[in-house]
């Protein structure tokens, strides 16, 4: 089923810096600042941008923390960097299962069903995720100088003052710079839509920082989404205009992917409906979008609270 395309959610996320921001390039400089932001060549010149990989990493980390908070002591999301405990890493767990079956590849439905919520949404070494976030570029040509140099100094752990010869310089993106990126969900379950909208909500409320030096006060941003489009491509006979169907609704009683046949969402404020080729599109903006965000986040919370904490066959 994941080789088909049954539904999509697309929206443009705008991210505005509320203070200095630094996503380090990783390249050492012979002269100038010790730490510089990542750059790209675009529209005939070099400019700062926010890499999609960094944004997706921030998004995944935030959603993982939220799920762990909702579940308390029950571990339902893995730690992809933990190499010691097989049960704490979906990638390692599937590799062990593959070895146990004479290195035969596991069926897609088995991998998806037995993956933790974070890996279902963002992917793992075993399969691609449902969510993708593109690079965030400047929304318009800006003649301002968008970076500035800031002084940094190492702190002596004994005295609490400045350490000797520990000064360094950072080149950061200034405040009030706006970037835009496209976010895409494909073959999503309703709770996955709610997870992404929760991330958007927390960005809008200023609860998420991006980049390096967050403990130094860097990385304060705010996000916003003006319109969200949901496309249904599969057989949607019987779907009301106020309904959004998730992957489980298309699969019905087929539980091989660990989805629920009741995987749908009903909204009280009707969206604008359009036919775009083979796509039946629902467009949410303004109050419609705010209402969708509210009910989708509620669906995400409810699904996580009932998620099985064991890998004995899925959710």
d(CA 51, CA 134): 7
Is the model's pLDDT at 11 over the cut of 70?
A: yes
Structural domain includes residue 25:
yes
133 touches 142 (CB < 8 A): no
Quote the strand ranges of 129-259, DSSP E: 131-133, 137-138, 147-155, 162-173, 178-186, 221-232, 243-245
| pLDDT computed for residue 80 by the predictor | 74
Structural domain includes residue 315:
no
Is the model's pLDDT at 81 over the cut of 80?
A: no
Number of domains in the chain: 1
- With 0-12 / 13-18 / 19 or more C-beta atoms within 10 angstroms meaning exposed / middle / buried, residue 237 is exposed
Quote the DSSP letter at residue 134. P
Structural domain includes residue 135:
yes
The owner of tokens 């860097």 is 218
Structural domain includes residue 226:
yes
Between 93 and 28, where is the model more confident?
A: 93
Q: Quote the domain boundaries for residue 259.
A: 7-305
Structural domain includes residue 312:
no
d(CA 38, CA 48): 6
- Residues recorded for the chain: 315
Q: Which residues contact 314 (CB under 8 A, 6 or more apart)?
A: 113, 114, 258, 308
pLDDT tens sequence across 219-270: 999 999 999 999 998 667 788 888 999 999 998 888 889 999 999 999 999 8
249 touches 261 (CB < 8 A): yes
Is the model's pLDDT at 53 over the cut of 90?
A: yes
Structural domain includes residue 298:
yes
Structural domain includes residue 65:
yes
d(CA 57, CA 45): 27
Cβ neighbours, 10 Å, residue 277: 8
d(CA 144, CA 146): 6
Is the model's pLDDT at 48 over the cut of 80?
A: yes
Structural domain includes residue 313:
no
d(CA 111, CA 93): 10
172 touches 20 (CB < 8 A): yes
- At 31, the pLDDT band (50, 70, 90 cuts) reads low
Which SS3 state, helix, strand or coil, does residue 271 take? Answer: coil
Q: Which residues contact 264 (CB under 8 A, 6 or more apart)?
A: 190, 243, 244, 245, 246, 249
| pLDDT computed for residue 158 by the predictor | 64
pLDDT tens sequence across 153-207: 666 566 655 566 666 678 889 999 999 999 999 999 999 999 999 999 999 999 9
């Amino acid at each position: 089923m994941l080789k088909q395309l049954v539904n999509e959610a697309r929206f443009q996320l705008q991210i505005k810096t509320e203070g200095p921001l630094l996503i380090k390039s990783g390249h050492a400089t012979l002269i100038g600042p010790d730490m510089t932001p990542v750059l790209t060549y675009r529209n005939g010149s070099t400019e700062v941008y926010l890499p999609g990989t960094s944004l997706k990493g921030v998004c995944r980390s935030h959603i993982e923390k939220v799920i762990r908070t909702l579940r308390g002591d029950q571990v339902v999301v893995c730690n992809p960097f933990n190499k010691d405990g097989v049960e704490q890493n979906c990638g390692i767990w599937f590799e062990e299962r593959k070895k146990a079956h004479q290195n035969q590849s596991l069926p897609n439905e088995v991998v998806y069903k037995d993956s933790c919520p974070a890996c279902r949404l963002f992917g793992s070494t075993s399969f691609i995720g449902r969510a993708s976030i593109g690079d965030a570029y400047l929304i318009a040509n800006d003649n301002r100088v968008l970076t500035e140099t800031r002084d940094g100094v190492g702190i002596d752990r004994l005295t609490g003052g400045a350490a000797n010869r520990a000064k360094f310089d950072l080149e950061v993106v200034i405040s009030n710079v706006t970037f835009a990126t496209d976010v895409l969900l494909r073959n999503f379950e309703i709770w996955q839509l709610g997870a992404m909208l929760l991330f958007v909500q927390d960005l809008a409320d200023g609860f998420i920082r991006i980049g390096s030096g967050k403990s130094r006060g860097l990385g304060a941003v705010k996000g916003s989404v003006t319109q969200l489009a949901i496309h249904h491509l599969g057989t949607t006979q019987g779907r009301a205009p106020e309904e959004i169907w998730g992957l489980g609704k298309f699969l019905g009683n087929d539980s091989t992917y660990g989805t629920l046949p009741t995987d749908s969402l009903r909204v009280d404020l009707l969206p604008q409906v359009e036919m775009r080729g083979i796509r039946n599109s629902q467009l949410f903006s303004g109050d419609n979008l705010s209402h969708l965000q509210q009910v989708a986040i509620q669906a995400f919370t409810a699904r996580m609270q009932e998620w099985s904490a064991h890998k004995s066959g899925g959710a």
